[in-house]
Amino acid sequence: MAPQTKKPTLLCGGNQQYGRARLRRDPVDDLSDSQNEWFTDRPIKWMLYDTIVGFDKGIMENIIESALSKWAAVSSLTFEKAAPDTAADDVNLKIKVSGPSVVDPDFPAQTDGSWIAANASWGPGISQLWKPVEKKIYSAHVKFNNTSSGPNNWNVNQIHNVFLHEVGHALKLGHTLVEGAVMGRLMKEGGGNQDIQLQSDDIARIQKYYKPASAKRRFRRAKGSVSAFRS
Ligand SMILES: [Zn+2]
């Protein structure tokens, strides 16, 4: 019998909030959703700061846009790539890569052949400490593991699939035990060779917080009544 080729299972590195790592193998898992919620009255501005070796920035940005558009299509959330000169406080979603020469304590090596592919914030951090105090700062991150403890064979589909899952955390979702859902903990077979789609469980969960239909109806009414304001 021919030996089976063992493909690594990609793991989510868990969530971080306020600097406290939540480990993926804690007996009490991070299944619950974050308390913090994003705004929906304007786009979440995102920026890609680093790249995975072998991928140029434009390609990675296209992959990220494709994944973000899937969440946007089923929710009231919108996303916008931040202009290159955008101040750090005004970039809401920071997308980073731990590079090959880095030892990142967020990504300890695994001993069972699996990899921690990435981690992310658990919902947005919301700060009101800056002046003017009315200006809340919303901030979250997704970080890919391109260190020696990470996947050594990143491909376009894996980047997409891992990001689709991790940004779900940044949007405020925890993990699910529903089989096959994007927000499940494990990504088997190395993340697959095709882009995954949001499943009904993922869609129901994001719509619990960011309902799309009412927002769109409001928008249409507002547009339709423009002439009433001209009198
Ligand atoms: Zn996860």
CATH code at position 14:
3.40.390.10
**What is the pLDDT at residue 25?**
42
> Is 141 annotated in some ligand binding site?
no
d(CA 3, CA 23): 33
Distances (CA, A) of 125 to 17, 29, 67: 7, 20, 21
Domain that holds residue 175: 10-230
**What is the pLDDT at residue 9?**
64
What does the pLDDT average to over 80-86? 97
Is 62 within the bounds of a domain? Answer: yes
User: Distance from the CA of 66 to the center of ligand 1, in angstroms?
Assistant: 19
User: Distance from the CA of 154 to the center of ligand 1, in angstroms?
Assistant: 18
Is 141 within the bounds of a domain? Answer: yes
Contacts of residue 110, defined as CB under 8 A and 6 or more positions apart, other chains included, come to: 11, 116, 149
**What is the pLDDT at residue 58?**
97
Question: How many domains does the chain fold into?
Answer: 1
**What is the pLDDT at residue 151?**
83
d(CA 11, CA 30): 14
User: Distance from the CA of 165 to the center of ligand 1, in angstroms?
Assistant: 6
In terms of C-beta density within 10 A (0-12 exposed, 13-18 middle, 19 or more buried), how is residue 39 classed? Answer: middle
Is 5 within the bounds of a domain? Answer: no
> Is 165 annotated in some ligand binding site?
yes
Residue 135 has pLDDT above 60, yes or no: yes
User: Percentage of the chain with pLDDT > 90?
Assistant: 49
Which positions are annotated as active-site residues? 166
User: Distance from the CA of 227 to the center of ligand 1, in angstroms?
Assistant: 47
Half-sphere exposure of 218 (CA within 13 A, CB side): 8
> Is 1 annotated in some ligand binding site?
no
